[in-house]
Structure 1
Amino acid sequence: MTTFFLARHGETIWHADHRYAGVSDVGLTRHGLGQAAALGAWAADARLDAIVASPLTRARRSAAPAVEVTGLPLRIDERLLEVDFGKGEGLTPDELAAQYPEAWSAFRRAPASSPLPDGESGRAAIARALPVFDELHAEFPDGRVLIVAHATLLRLVLCDLAGIDPDGYRDLLPVLGNCTITTLAYPWEAECTTPARPRTRLLGFDVPPSSAAH
């Protein structure tokens, strides 16, 4: 099994207003850079074999301290982009409700199946991101890999790997902290396998780097 450490990027300049960033290339705040530094301090003793990030600046900058302390190259994978929220990018929930009331209501009911106007569905995002895990497992079958990506994408993937309907990701996993660590053993071979069984073992969720196991 490959051990994956999943981390959301650090705080961005749109955090205070709760604006949807999606594929917009939004920068980190000073606090976000500090969160990235804490992730790097954790990585120094994590015995990582690879560091992979979304191409967006906020993910690359968040991975940079881990790259520096480990000496590993930063691998960029386009498939780890955040969900594209279309016309919702840059808007707050209140603004979305005012400008696109029907689409916003549908998104809230089934966020993986009902994309925002001109946006990408969560299920499509899962389909593009899952092969990343299979390919990294094939390359590092007993390895340890840090993935730095985005809150919505990571929560969607976690639901899918756990055998949970991803339309429930906002209820089941309402928050994923900046630069916190979620640890997976993947793929997980359960003793009793059915289509509903999880494909991963969750070893830790949303743990601050200072408290996360190595």
Structure 2
Amino acid sequence: MSGRIIIARHGNTFAADEAPRRIGARTDLPLVASGRAQAIALGAHFRTRGLDFAHCLTSPLRRTRETAALVLDGAPCPIEAADWLVEIDHGPDEGRTEDEVRARIGSDALAAWERDATPPIDWTVNAEARRAAWALCFGEAAALGGTMLVVTSNGAARFAAPGAGRLRTGAYGEVVISANAPPQVVAWDVRP
């Protein structure tokens, strides 16, 4: 069989007048108004494309569950929280601004994280387990067929499509899954 997975990043958790901070697994923020608008825009975009989701996985974090509920807008699609989709743990950088993080670990360490998911010292990522979980998810999606929605964070999403780059808040990627071929990323960081 074959199928597709839409991997969406949760909507904004900071208002326009707030300085964004590194927020990971230990901080469970709700969506702000602009984040709710992003999720609603994703849902409208998917409906325009005629996507009918058979299943939805989210991380256990509130921001991903809220995003999924707004995207699905009451559609009869089961939503399941999956622990493996939780955001990474930014260690001592949790809650710090990007400038503060850069001052602590350096620009090269941040560039390595963005480029190839090499985590800075003191961050808990467990890349191998994340890659294995995505591979299992892709296999299950191929067996089930149809379209699956996965709502998570950038830290978790990057392991679904190595080298694809960052997923901005309110953006998505699309991966086509087939039992006879490796997963194929057909879109990434699309923001309606």
TM-score normalised by length of structure 1 = 0.74
Distance in 2, matches of 1:131 and 1:35, equals: 29
| Uncovered stretches (5+) of structure 1, i.e. residues with no partner | 160-168, 191-198, 210-214
State the one-letter code of the partner of 2:154.
Answer: A
Q: What residue number does 1:41 align with?
A: 44
2:167 — aligned with what?
A: 176
CA distance in 2, matches of 1:129, 1:89: 25
Secondary structure in 1 aligned to 2:73? helix
Is the contact made by 2:54 and 2:147 (CA closer than 8 Å) also made in structure 1? Answer: yes
- Aligned residues of 2:15 and 2:33 also touching (Cα < 8 A): no
**Residue 120, structure 1, aligned to residue 102, structure 2:** no
1:43–1:69 Cα contact (<8 Å) kept: no
Higher relative contact order (CA 8 A, sep 6+): 2
Q: Give distance in 1, aligned partners of 2:172 and 2:125.
A: 26
Structure 1 residue 51, shift from structure 2 partner: 1.6
Q: Does 1:90 align with 2:120?
A: no
Contact kept in structure 2, 1:40 and 1:65, CA below 8 Å? yes
The 1:108/1:66 distance shift into structure 2, 3 A limit, reads: closer
Asked if the contact 2:57–2:81 (Cα under 8 Å) also holds between the matched residues in 1, the reply is yes
Residues paired across the two proteins, number: 185
Match of 2:23 in 1: 21
Task: Name the structure 2 match of 1:131.
Answer: 136
Give the TM-score of the pair, scaled to structure 2: 0.81
Shift of 1:50: 1.1
Instruction: From the superposition, tell whether residues 179 and 106 of structure 1 become closer, same or farther in structure 2 (CA, over 3 Å).
Output: closer
- Equivalences for residues 39-188 of structure 1 within 5 A: 39-44=42-47, 45-101=50-106, 105-106=108-109, 108-109=111-112, 112-138=117-143, 140=144, 142-159=145-162, 169=163, 173=165, 175-187=166-178
Aligned identity (percent) is 28
Are residue 10 (structure 1) and residue 11 (structure 2) matched? yes
Measured in 2, the distance between the counterparts of 1:157 and 1:206 equals 13
In structure 1, the partner of 2:187 is: 204
Q: What amino acid sits opposite 1:7 in the alignment?
A: A
The root-mean-square deviation of aligned C-alpha atoms, in Å, is: 2.6
Displaced runs of 4 or more, over 6 A? none
**Gaps (5+ residues) in structure 2?**
none
Richer in strand (by share): 2
Q: CA deviation at 1:118?
A: 4.8
Deviation, structure 1 residue 57: 0.6
Q: CA deviation at 1:14?
A: 7.4
Partners of 1:31 and 1:207 lie apart in 2 by 17
